[in-house]
A and B are shown apart, each in its own frame.
Chain A
Amino acid sequence: MNWKAISRNVGLALLVSSLFMFFSVLVSVLNGNDSALAALAISFTITFLVGIFPFIFVRRTNAITLKEGYVTITLSWLLSFIFGMLPYALWGGPFSLENAWFESVSGFTTTGATILDNVEALPNSLLFWRASTHFIGGLGVVVFLLLIIPDSSPVKLRLVNMEISSLSRGAYGMRINRTVYIFAYVYLAIFALALILYILAGMPVFDALCHAMSVCATGGFSTRNASIGAFNSRWIEAATMLCMYLSSLHFGLLFMCVVNRSLKFMKNAIVTYYTGSLLLFSLLMGIGLKIAGFFKGWGEALWNGLFEVMCISTTTGFAIADNSAWPPVLCGLILLAAAVCACAGSTSGGIKIDRIVLFFKALGRQINRILHPSSVNEIKFGGKVLKDQDVYPHLLYIAMYTVLLAISAVLCLFIGVGWQNSIAASITSISNVGPALGEMGSMGSFNCAPVAAKLVFSFDMFLGRIEIYPVLAVVAMIFDSRNR
C-alpha cells in the first residue's frame, strides 16, 4: 500500500475543509468576534497543519492502485468528519463529543439531521460552518480534491471512477475527467441561483447564504429552529422547492440543457418517472393532510404536501410544518419517499430512482423469461441495452441497502430507541434525508437518541453517502489474507 500517496491526497481533502474553516473565522470576525472565533481558529490551524504536513515530504504521485483509491476515498471522508467536528467540540454548549461527531457526519453526508434543540442559540460563524459542511459534502469531499488534481494525472481518473456513482458516470457521453468539472459548474450554478432567489424573496443575506449552501447540497441544515417555515414566505418556499428539484436531477442533464439551450433532455425516462412520482406522492400527501384536518384549505394542504414530499424525496430535509403528529399513513408515505429518493448524478442520497426503474425492468424481464422462456429478453436503459453484469451491482445495492437498513433498525431497537424511530431514523439516515418522525421529526432533533444510536445513525449516513461499496471494499481489504 502506497501510504505516501494516500496521505498526500487525504491531506488535500483536509485542506479543502480548512479553507472553509478559514471562511468561518472570517464570518466570526465580521460578526464582531463571536463566541466561536477561538474554536474555529484553532480548528482551522489544526486541520491546515495536518493537511499540509504530507506535502512537505511526499512528491506528486502519478499512479495509485484500485485499493489505494478506495482507502483514499474512505479516509478522506472519515478524516473530514473527525476534523469537521473540531469547531463544535471546541465551542462546547450542547456539543458533547458524540453530538459533535453526529453533527459533523450529518453535515458532510448532507443528511441534515441535527442534535440541536435550539439552532438559533449558535453563533453565526458556527452556523456558517454547519452550512459549509453541507457545501463540501454535497459535491463530495473527493470531488473537491479532484478539482485540484491536474487533468493529466492518472490518480484523477482512478478516483473519478470510484467516487462518482457508476449510474451517473456514463450518461450523456461525457469524458470521465470532464464529469468532475460539469458537476462542479452545475453545483455552483444552483448555489448562485438559490442565493439570488432567496435574497430576491426577502431572506436576510446571511440566512440566504447558509440556506443556498444547504439547498444545492440537498442538505437540510437551517439557521432557524422552524427551518424554512420560520420565514413564513411562499416565495422563499417556492425558491426552495425549485432549487431542491434542480439539485435532485442528474447534473449532466442540467448541463446539457443549458449548453444546448433546449429542454429536450428533460424528456428522459428517469426524469419523467421521478417527476411523476414526486407529483403523485405530493398529491396523496396533500389529500391526506386535508382529510386528517391539518390544514383548512385544499391549496394550503397541497402546498404543504408538495413541500414535504420534495424535502424528503430530494433528501434535503427542510420543513415548513411539524410532521410529528401526522397519521401513520402519511408517515408511511414519507418513509417510502425517503427510501426511493432522487436521480443518480445529483447530490441526493438514497436508493435513487434510476435503480428503482432498473429493478422493475429486471423484474419485468424475469417474469417475461418465466412466461416466454425462448423469447429474447433484454433490459434497455437510457437508450442502451444493458448486460447482466451491468445490472447486477445495482440490484445488489438495493439488497445491501435493505439488509443494512434492517441491521440498523434492529440495533437501534436493542439500544432502546422506540420501534417507530428505529425504522424511520434508520431509513432517513441511510438515505441522507435528515429528519425522521415523531420527536426526531421535522421540528424535532436527534438529541433524544441514546449515544449508541447516534453512532449507528452516523454510520448509516456515511454508508448512504458513499454508496456502501467503498466501505465494504476497505473492510474486505482489511480481512483479505492476500493483503497481509
Chain B
Amino acid sequence: MKLSIKSKLTLSLSAIAAILLISATISVLEYSKMSTYVSDLIADDITSLNTAHKLAEISNKYNLDILAVIGDDAYDELPRFDQEYFLSHCDILRSSLESNVIQPLTDSVVFSCAAYVLTSLELENVLDSYFIDSRSWYFNRLQPSFALLKSDIDALETAIYQDLEKNSKTFERGFYRSIIPGIVAVAVGLLLVLMLLLFMLAYYVNPLYKMLQSLDGYRSYGKKYTYEFDGDDQLLKLNEGISEVANENLQLRKRVKELKARVSNELESNKS
C-alpha cells in the first residue's frame, strides 16, 4: 500500500499525539489516585493521633481529679470517668487504622483502662475507711494501674507515629512509582519524535537538498539532472517531473543551438 506524504505525516503525528494523550491521561489518573490514597492515609493517622491524645487527656484529668480528692481528704462529689466516651474513642481508633500492630495496642489500652477504672472505683470506700490510708492506696494500688494505662497509651501513640512515618515513606515510594508510567509514555513519545525527525530528514529534507543541488548544477553549468532516490510518494514524482523537464529543456537548448549553427552555416553559404 502506497501512502501519500499527507497520509504519512498525518499517521505519524497521530501516533505521537496518541502517545502524548496516553502519557497525559496516565499522569492525571496516577496523580488523582495517589493524592486521594495518600490524603486518606495521612488523614486517618492524624485523626488517630488526635484520638490517642484525647484518651491520654481524659485519663490524666480523671487521675488528677482523684489526686485532688485524696489531697483534700474531703469531697463533695467523687470524680467521674466517662468510660463510654473513652471506649468510643478506642473503637474509632480500631476502625480507622488497619495496621496489625495498632489493633492489639488499642485492645491493651482498653484492658488497662478497665483495670484502672475498676481500681479507681475503690476510692469511695478508701476515703470513707478509717483503716486505709488514701495516699498509700493511691501509690500502691491506683498509681501502678494508671502507669500501665499511660504506658499503653504512649505505646499506642508511638505506633501511630510509626505508622504515619511508614505511610510517608510509602507515599514517597508511591510517588516515584506513580510517575514511572508518565515517564515511560513521555520517553516513548520522545523516541517517536526522534524517529519522525530521522525519517523526515532521510525521506524529505535530504532529498530536497540534493534536488536543489542538482537543479543548481543544471541551471548554473548546464549539467544533466541526474538525482534519483528511493521512495513511493509525491516527492519521488516531483523529482521525476523535474528530471524530465530539466532534461527536455537541455535537449531543447541543444536543438536550438544546433538549429542556430545550421542557420548561420546556411546564411554563410548563401552569402558566399
Contacts and interface: CB of A to CB of B under 8 A. Distances in A.
Interface of A: 3-4, 7, 42, 45-46, 49-50, 52-54, 56-59, 86, 89-90, 92, 96-97
Given A59-B230, A90-B180, A90-B184, A54 B22 contact: no
Contact of A53 (B3, B15, B22): B15
A3 B202 CA distance: 10
A466 B225 CA distance: 48
A46 B188 contact: yes
29 contacts: A3-B198, A4-B202, A7-B195, A42-B22, A42-B26, A42-B181, A45-B18, A45-B22, A46-B19, A46-B22, A46-B185, A49-B15, A49-B18, A49-B19, A49-B188, A49-B192, A53-B12, A53-B15, A54-B195, A56-B15, A56-B199, A58-B199, A59-B231, A59-B232, A86-B184, A89-B180, A90-B181, A90-B184, A96-B177
B11 interface: yes
Nearest to B231: A59
Contacts of A89: 180-181, 184
Given A42-B26, A59-B232, A50 B8 contact: no
B203 A92 contact: no
A50 B232 contact: no
B100 to A, nearest CB: 18
B238 interface: no
A188 B70 CA distance: 89
Interface in B12-53: 12, 15, 18-19, 22, 26
Contacts of B231: 59
A466 to B, nearest CB: 23
Given A50-B191, A86-B184, A90-B180, A56 B18 contact: no
Contact of A57 (B12, B18, B185, B191): B12
Given A42-B26, A46-B19, A56 B11 contact: yes
B173 to A, nearest CB: 9
Contacts of B191: 50
A52 B192 CA distance: 11
Contacts of A45: 18, 22
Contact of B12 (A56, A59, A96): A56
Nearest to B180: A89
A146 to B, nearest CB: 22
Contacts of A86: 184
A3 B230 CA distance: 14
A contacts with B: majority SS: helix
Contacts of A56: 3, 8, 11-12, 15, 199
B178 to A, nearest CB: 9
Nearest to A42: B22
A50 B187 CA distance: 11
Closest 9 CB pairs of A and B: A57-B199, A49-B15, A56-B11, A90-B181, A46-B188, A56-B12, A56-B8, A53-B195, A92-B177
Interface string B166-207: 000000000001001100110010011001101100110000
Contacts of A4: 199, 202
A75 to B, nearest CB: 13
A68 to B, nearest CB: 15
A18 to B, nearest CB: 12
Nearest to A41: B22
A56 B7 CA distance: 9
Contacts of A46: 19, 22, 184-185, 188
A163 B192 CA distance: 27
A165 B63 CA distance: 84
A50 B193 CA distance: 11
B230 A50 contact: no
A50 B8 CA distance: 15
Contacts of B202: 3-4, 57
Contacts of A53: 12, 15, 192, 195-196
B15 to A, nearest CB: 5
B8 A57 contact: yes
A50 B191 CA distance: 8
Given A52-B15, A56-B199, 5 more contacts: A42-B181, A46-B22, A56-B8, A90-B181, A96-B177
Nearest to B177: A92
Contacts of A92: 177
Nearest to A79: B191
B192 A50 contact: yes
Nearest to A49: B15
Nearest to B173: A96
Contacts of B19: 46, 49
A42 B198 CA distance: 25
A215 to B, nearest CB: 32
B71 to A, nearest CB: 60
A86 B195 CA distance: 20
Q: Which of A46, A52, A97 has its CB near the most chain B CB atoms (within 10 A)?
A: A46
Contacts of A58: 199
Contacts of B177: 92, 96
Contacts of B230: 59
Nearest to B191: A50
B203 A57 contact: yes
Interface string B210-245: 000000000000000000001110000000000000
A219 B177 CA distance: 29
A7 B202 CA distance: 13
Nearest to B18: A49
Nearest to B25: A42
A96 B181 CA distance: 12
A111 B11 CA distance: 38
